[in-house]
Structures are given as C-alpha cells and as structure tokens.
Amino acid sequence: MIWRVLAFPLRAILLAIGFLFFYGGAAVFSWIGIPLLILVKKEKAGRIPIVRRIAGLWARGLFGLGRFSRILAFNPVTDLTPLPSEPRVLIANHPTLVDVTAFLARYDQLCCVTKKRLFRDPFMGLILRECEYIQGAVGGPFAGSSVVLAGINRLNEGQSVLVFPEGTRSPISGQHVFQRGAFEMAIRARVPISPFLVTCDPVVLNREASLFQLLWQSSRYSIIQLPELDPKDWQGDAAAMAAYAEDLFRQHLHLFQSSWSAEALSEKMECNTAEMKTLIVSALMLEDCDPVSIDDDAALFGGGLDLDSVDALELVLALKKTYGVEIKPENENNKIIFQSVRSLAEFVARESK
C-alpha cells in the first residue's frame, strides 16, 4: 500500500530526471564538450566517429534510466543484434519520440536523416551537425533530391543510413504512407534494405498519447529486424519497393494489434501466458523448469529458454493439438511469433478466438 502511494511521485521525479538527462546532457555536450573537442581535433572527419560514439553512450544512459524507473522496458545492447559491416539502408516505422535514440544506442555510427528544424535546435543542433547527419528537406525528409543524393554519398563512403519512410511519427492506430526516398537510395547505391519493426505497448511519447501516461504505467518497447529486401528484386522501381515495404510493415503491425479492448486483451493475455508456459514445459519435457519462473518477455530462442529447432517443431505440434492453431515453417512472421512467451500467446489468442 505504501509503495502504491509513493509510486506516483517517485515516477514523476524519475521522469523529470529523464528529461533533464535528455536535454541537459545534450546542452552540456553541445555547449562545452564539442567546443573542447574541436580544440583538440581540428579535422571534422576525425571528430565525427567520436561525437557519434558519445551520442550513442548518452542514448544508452537514457534507456538505462528508463529501465531503472520501469517506465520503458528496452535494452538496446542486448535486444538488438550487431549490423553487418557492409553499408545498408535501415528503415523503420516511427511510433515514439525515442526511436532514433533507440537505434543510436546500439548502432552509434549510423547516419540518420533528421528533420531540418532540429539542426537549428539550441540543444541538439550542433550535435547533429558534428555527426554529419542528413538534413531532411522542408515539407518532409524526402521532399528534395538533395537528401537522396546525400544518402547515396554516405552509403558509398561505407556508412549505413537510418530512414523513417513515413517522414514523421506514426499514428497510434497504424502508419502513414511510405515515401520512396529510402528506396531510391538503396537502388542507386546498390545496397540492401534492412527493415526494423518498432513496437511500444502501450504507445507512449507519441504526439497522440498523453505524457502523463508515463506516471502510472510501464511500456514494453521492442525493435525486431525483419528479412532484408534486395533492390535487385524490384529492377529499379523504387515506388513498387516502397509499396511492398509499406504493406510488409502493415502486416507485421497487425500481429501486435487486436480488436479487443485493452482491458479484455490484458485479462485474456494474463491467462494465456500462464497457459503457454505450462504448455512449453510439458510439451518439451523441461522437467527442471518451473513454468512460473519463465519471464513473459524472455527470448524463446538464442537466449532465455534457449530452445532449438527440434524444440520448435515439438512446440508447433503441441500448439496445433492443443489450440488447433497451425504455424507453417515458411510463415514469414515466425520470428515475431516465436520471439517470447507473450508474443506466442498473443498469436495463439488471436488465431484461436
């Protein structure tokens, strides 16, 4: 009871500290750190990786504070795998204010396409300019061909480029139409596109969501890499590639959205995650594993329970027998479905309703 009374003011204090860390850290680095670095390193080319690295560490600290305060559950270091060394275009949907920060916390040497007005921001402007990020044209990140050409130059230099094809933050209910700039970059530079699905449940730090939500609820934030797209498959047609990617994201986002009310979904999922843990332990004969000890969001494969391909087949058979839900090996959504106990339970709940 005492914790519930104290929780609201404590979260308010931690939230205030988070915003102070975000803007205060940026201000100190912009107004003091970078000028000192310029005195030490005169050549800008030598400063770019250093500034990007520091910005990445600052981003990691921000998410560390989010985990500590239990406001935003996400660890960019462990939740994201390293990128290949070859340059590529990263695309993602954009549901929250911290999406760019999340990517930079893991991939600090990325080059980002950023809104032009932020380059004049007194807190962030100098950092963005020193990182040599790409300024989006007025009217949207790809209103001008100069943005695409700048992206191609970065790719030819061996840098990967992060782009949000919607050009602005996604609406809570879905996503905006994808613009073709990112796909023009990839086609002309002859590099692959790596799509990343960003989810936040419930959605916070979005222009449609109240900031005060953070005071009484926690959010699960995740970034899931989808299969790469090869520009050769579209024979230079950026518009067709953009349309395909947009549809791909809509299909994957549908797995995380439900026609149930939030309250009904919460009640149903509480039951289903418990059932799913029991099913996993039983079907795979994990005699030394207590179902209650399994975390809802622990990875099923490559960590957490550390299941293998044989376990996957056994689990698929058990799901079909128990719930009548069939999961085919060629299903392109399998990586998302089998991400955790929670994602598997959500999928089964939707398919069996």
- Written as one letter, the residue type at 228 is E
Query: CA-to-CA distance for 166 and 206, rounded, in angstroms?
Result: 14
Q: Shortest CA distance to 89 belongs to which of 172, 169, 184?
A: 184
Query: CA-to-CA distance for 353 and 348, rounded, in angstroms?
Result: 8
Domains defined for the chain, CATH in brackets: 2-254 (3.40.1130), 262-351 (1.10.1200.10)
Residue 316: band (very low, low, confident or very high) from pLDDT cuts 50, 70, 90: confident
pLDDT of residue 58: 93
| pTM for this prediction | 0.70
Query: CA-to-CA distance for 348 and 27, rounded, in angstroms?
Result: 47
Mean pLDDT over residues 227-235, rounded? 91
Mean pLDDT over residues 310-335, rounded? 80
Q: Per-residue pLDDT tens for 105-144?
A: 999 999 999 988 899 999 899 999 999 999 986 654 445 6
Q: Per-residue pLDDT tens for 205-223?
A: 777 666 666 666 778 889 9
Query: CA-to-CA distance for 8 and 18, rounded, in angstroms?
Result: 15
Residue 31 has pLDDT above 90, yes or no: yes
pLDDT of residue 210: 64
pLDDT of residue 209: 63
Query: CA-to-CA distance for 265 and 100, rounded, in angstroms?
Result: 29
